[in-house]
Amino acid sequence: MPYHLFKCSECIPEREKHAVIKGKGEDISMALPLGYLNTIPGTISERGCAYCGAKHVIGTPMKDVIHLSHGPVGCTYDTWQTKRYISDNDNFQLKYTFASDMKEKHIVFGAEQLLKKNILDAFAAFPNIKRMTIYQTCASALIGDDINALADEIMEENPDVDIFVCNSPGFGGPSQSGGHHKINIAWINQKVGTVDPKIDADYVINYVGEYNIQGDQEVMMDYFKRMGIYVLSTFTGNGSYDDLRAMHKAHLNVLECARSAEYICNELRVRYGIPRMDIDGFGFEPLSASLRKISLFFGIEERALAIIDTETARWKPELDWYKARLMHKKVCLWPGGSKLWHWANAIHEEMGVDVVSVYTKFGHQGDMEKGISRCEEGALAIDDPNELEGLEAMETLQPDIIFTGKRPGEVAKKIRVPYLNAHAYHNGPWKGFEGWVRFARDIYNGIYSPIHQLSLLDISKDEIPTDQGFVTNRMLSDANLSEEVRNDPNLHPYTGNYDNVSHLRNKKYPEFPRAEKDTSVA
C-alpha cells in the first residue's frame, strides 16, 4: 500500500504520508496514513476548530438548553444554522443562539462581569429554560476568564438553574476533534451523576454519538421503543440536558459515532462500569446486526428479529431497486470523521457502488484503519485533505458522485461531479431501514440527474440531440439494464413519505410485560 504524493503537494513532501492507495491484496498493516496532526498552514485544509467541535457538533444538538458562547460574536454567528440537528421541542437549539459579545474593553479588563449579566439576561429572556451551556472561545481562553467559577456562583444564587461549562477554545488541537474530546470529558466530570432519577424499566441504555441529523435519532428511537428498551439519554441529538446528567444510571452505552463520543463511553465504563457497545444505524446488515447485538445483551433477541424481519421485508425491495441501478458507480466518500467507515462497506454491499476514495478531515488513524479495511482495492485514502488535493483526486478518479460537505460540494459541482451532503444529508434521515433507502434514492437522483447530464454537453462543439424535449432519470438509469432487472416485479423505487419522522412523535408503542427478574435498580 504505497503512500501517495499528490502532484499539487510535491512542494510539501510531508503530505505524502497523509495519503495511501490500497493496493491489491494489501491491508492496513502495510501502511496507514498519518492522522490527527497539526495542519500545514496555508494548504487550504477543510478543517474546523476545537470550539466548533465542542459547541457546534456536540453541544448544540442538546435541545432544552441556552447555548451561550463567551467571546466576540463571530464564533456564535458562524456556527449558527449551518447544520440540520432537529429536535422534537420545536427546535429551540437551532432557533436561538447566544453570544456574550466580548469587546475590546473586555479583552483589556476582563469579561466575567459581562458574562454574568449575559447569563442572567439570557435566562430572563427565556423564563422556561433553566439549563445553559457556556462555551469558551479563543478570546475568552486567552484572557483567562474563569467561567467555571462564575457558573458555580450563578448556580448558587439561582438554585433552579444549572450551567455546564466547556473550555474548548478554537486553537485547542489540530481540528474539531480536540473539541469533541474536551466536551465529552467536561460533561462526565461536571454533570454525569448530578441527578438520580428513579428509572422504572428493564432495559436501559444511553444512545451516544448520535446527533439527530434530519431525524436520525428519532428513527432509531422508534426501534428501541419497539424493542421495549428505555433510552435514558441521547448524547446529544434531540437529547435533554437533565437526562444526560443521569447517564450513569444506564445498563449499556450504545455508541454510534465513535469518533466524536467514544471518550464519554470509555469514561462511563471506567467510572460506572457501564459497558460500551458500538453500533451502526446505517445499512440494513450493520443495523440489523446492531439491533441484534443490543437485544442479545438484554436477552430479548426475538424483539429485534421481529423488527428486522418487518423492516427488511418492507424496504429491501426498494433498496434493491436502487442497487440494480447503482452497480459499480464510483463514489468518493469524503465525510468528516466516522462516516467513512460507517458507510464504506455498507454502500458497496447494499447499494452496489464502488468506493474509490475515502478521506477524513478530522478523523484519527483508527478511523482510517476501519475505513481503509472496508473500502475497495485501489481506493485512495486521504487524511486532512486540502482543496487542490481534492480536485486532483476527482480529476484522476472521475467519480460518479461524491459525499462531502456543503462547500466542498460546490468545488465538485464545478468539475461536473454531483455531490451529496455527507454531514447534513440531502433528503434524510439516512439512518434506519427506510433512511438507507432514502440515501440510495438521493444517490440515484444525484447520479442520474438529467440536468447533470446536460452540464456535460458542449453546445459549441458537440452534436446537439434535437429529438428529445426531456430526459428522465429513469431513462438514463435503465438504458443499459437487462429486461429482467428493469421489469423485476419484486423491486420498486422508494414509496415513503417526504417527511418520515414527524409521525413518530405521536406514535403509540406496545407495553411489554416486565422481566421476571427486576433489574430496574441499577
- In the window 61-80, what residues touch another protein (CB under 8 A)? 68, 71-80
Query: Which residues contact residue 198 at a Cβ distance below 8 angstroms, ignoring those fewer than 6 apart?
Result: none
* Smallest separation, CB 114 to another protein (Å): 6
Task: Using alpha carbons, select from 488, 493, 455, 458 the residue that is nearest to residue 474.
Answer: 493
Q: DSSP class of residue 413?
A: H
**From CA 278, how far away is CA 274, in angstroms rounded?**
13
In the range 300-329, which residues lie near another protein by CB under 8 A? none
Is 103 or 492 the residue whose CB approaches another protein more closely?
Answer: 103
Q: Quote the CA–CA distance of 480 and 325 in Å, as a whole number.
A: 9
Cβ atoms of 249 and 315 within 8 Å: the answer is: no
Nearest Cα to 95, choosing from 82, 81, 78?
Answer: 81
Q: Is position 260 an interface residue for another protein (rule: CB under 8 A)?
A: no
CB of 361 to another protein, least distance (A): 9
**What is the closest distance, in whole angstroms, from the C-beta atom of residue 407 to another protein in the complex?**
4
Residue 356 Cβ, how far from another protein at the closest point, in Å? 20
State in angstroms the smallest separation of the CB of 172 from another protein: 6
CB of 4 to another protein, least distance (A): 17
By CB under 8 A, name the one of 60, 87, 93, 97 that touches another protein: 97
Q: Where are the alpha helices (DSSP H) in 79-207?
A: 92-95, 104-109, 112-125, 138-143, 147-157, 176-190
Between residue 416 and residue 445, which ones bind another protein under the rule CB under 8 A? Answer: 416
Among 166, 208, 411, 420, binds another protein (CB under 8 A): 411
Residue 456 in the binding site for another protein (CB under 8 A):
yes
CB of 401 to another protein, least distance (A): 16
Q: Which residues pair with 231 in a beta bridge?
A: 205
Q: 496 φ, ψ to 5°?
A: -75, 180
Does residue 104 interact with another protein by CB under 8 A? yes
Q: Is residue 464 near another protein by the rule CB under 8 A?
A: no
CA-wise closest residue to 239 among 263, 262, 220: 220
Position among 125, 270, 327, 475 found at the interface with another protein (CB under 8 A): 125
Angle between helices 432-447 and 216-226 (to 10 degrees): 150
Task: Calculate Rg over the CA atoms of the chain.
Answer: 24
Q: How far is the CB of 200 from another protein (least distance, A)?
A: 36
What are the φ/ψ torsions at residue 306 (nearest 5 degrees)? -60, -45
Q: Is 139 in the site for another protein (CB under 8 A)?
A: yes
CB of 194 to another protein, least distance (A): 25
44 is a contact residue toward another protein (CB under 8 A):
yes
Out of 413, 476, 488, 504, name the contact with another protein by CB under 8 A.
413
CB atoms near residue 77 (< 10 Å): 12
Q: Is 446 in the site for another protein (CB under 8 A)?
A: no
Number of DSSP helices (H) and strands (E) in the chain, helices first: 21, 14
79 or 500: whose CB is closer to another protein?
79
Residue 9 contacts another protein per CB under 8 A? yes
Q: Where in 141-200 is the site for another protein (CB under 8 A)?
A: 141-143, 169-176
Longest dimension (CA), the chain: 77
Q: How far is it, in rounded angstroms, from Cα 49 to Cα 171?
A: 6
Q: Smaller CB distance to another protein: residue 17 or 413?
A: 413
13 interacts with another protein by CB under 8 A: no
What is the footprint of another protein within residues 365-404 (CB under 8 A)? 387-388, 391
